[in-house]
């Protein structure tokens, strides 16, 4: 172990200073000490005034700022009112455009702004050449889709930026929601009731190719090979009324739609 050192042998050198016989420092007596003279330094007072002025300047600037609303609550998309809107879409691509819009809504996290999206259709009965019937979907408004949504800047841009969608149907440049009567009519046709819900197969219309004014030829029945003009169409029952010339007079004859053909 190292030997203990004798602290009494260590000499401490202090700064040389003029000391009189009484042991008093001359610098203290003469007033030449390096210590600052706080009482007599006028610059300190000026500095305090400058700081105070700057503080007042910053306080005035704060008065120009808009008030902060500490109670602001983020908007809940689910609480926004959703309305039905009609969107123009590319013809014969309505279903794929509707699917694309659904995917984009999910991708951008805006599901809360959107409800149901659909292509307005109705169930109709068609007959094959073999005479068998089948139920198919027929578009009510080709080139349009329906969207239930809360209209905001974000949801509006998402819809407008979707490929295949043209624009909202609008009035005066502003998207116009559908009226309640229109909505009920379209949704009723697009969502036919099932038999267990009170729906009836007789409620389904029959798809008839002919239109009022078309010239047709009767191909079956008592008036086979007679020709005439279509005067009325009954899609509910799948029948057409044809004006046939019998003995020089036009007589309305009601036929099943499959009994006539256009020419």
In the structure encoding, which two tokens stand for residue 90, read together? 């590319």
Q: Which residue has the higher pLDDT, 68 or 246?
A: 246
Q: Per-residue pLDDT for 137 more than 80?
A: yes
Q: What is the pLDDT of residues 174-209, one digit of tens each?
A: 899 999 999 998 888 887 655 555 555 556 788 888
Check: pTM over 0.85? Answer yes or no. no
Q: What is the pLDDT of residues 86-124, one digit of tens each?
A: 999 999 999 999 999 999 999 999 999 999 999 999 888
Measured CA distances, 21 to 15, 25, 26, 198 (Å): 18, 10, 11, 125
pLDDT at 61: 45
Q: What is the pLDDT of residues 17-33, one digit of tens each?
A: 444 544 444 444 444 44
The domains found in the chain, sorted by start residue, are: 78-205 (3.30.70.940), 208-262 (2.30.30.30)
Q: Per-residue pLDDT for 64 more than 50?
A: no
Which sign, positive or negative, has the C-alpha torsion 226, 227, 231, 237?
positive
In the structure encoding, which two tokens stand for residue 212, read together? 């009022």
pLDDT at 75: 62
Burial class (CB in 10 A: 0-12, 13-18, 19+), 189: middle
Average pLDDT rounded to a whole number, residues 141-163: 94
Q: Number of H helices and number of E strands within the chain?
A: 5, 14
pLDDT at 29: 42
């Amino acid at each position: 172990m190292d030997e203990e050192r004798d602290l009494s042998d260590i000499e401490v050198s202090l700064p040389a200073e003029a000391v009189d016989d009484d042991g008093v420092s001359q610098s203290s007596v003469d007033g030449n000490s390096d210590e600052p003279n706080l009482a007599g330094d006028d610059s300190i007072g000026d500095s305090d005034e400058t700081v105070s002025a700057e503080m007042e300047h910053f306080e005035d600037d704060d008065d120009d700022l808009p008030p902060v609303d500490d109670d602001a609550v983020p908007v809940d998309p689910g609480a926004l009112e959703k309305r039905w809107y009609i969107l123009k879409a590319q013809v014969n691509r309505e279903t794929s455009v509707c699917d694309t819009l659904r995917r984009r809504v999910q991708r951008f996290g805006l599901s809360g702004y959107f409800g149901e999206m659909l292509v307005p259709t109705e169930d109709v009965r068609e007959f094959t050449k073999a005479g068998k019937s089948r139920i198919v979907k027929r578009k009510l408004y080709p080139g349009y889709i329906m969207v239930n949504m809360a209209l905001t800047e974000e949801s509006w841009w998402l819809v407008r930026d979707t490929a295949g969608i043209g624009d909202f149907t609008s009035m005066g440049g502003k998207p116009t929601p559908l009226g309640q009567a229109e909505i009920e009519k379209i949704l009723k046709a697009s969502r036919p009731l099932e038999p267990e819900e009170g729906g009836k197969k007789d409620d389904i219309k029959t798809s008839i190719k002919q239109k009022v004014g078309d010239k047709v030829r009767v191909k079956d029945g008592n008036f086979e090979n007679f020709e005439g003009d279509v005067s009325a169409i009954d899609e509910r029952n799948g029948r057409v009324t044809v004006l046939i010339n019998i003995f020089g007079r036009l007589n309305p004859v009601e036929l099943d739609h499959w009994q006539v053909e256009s020419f």
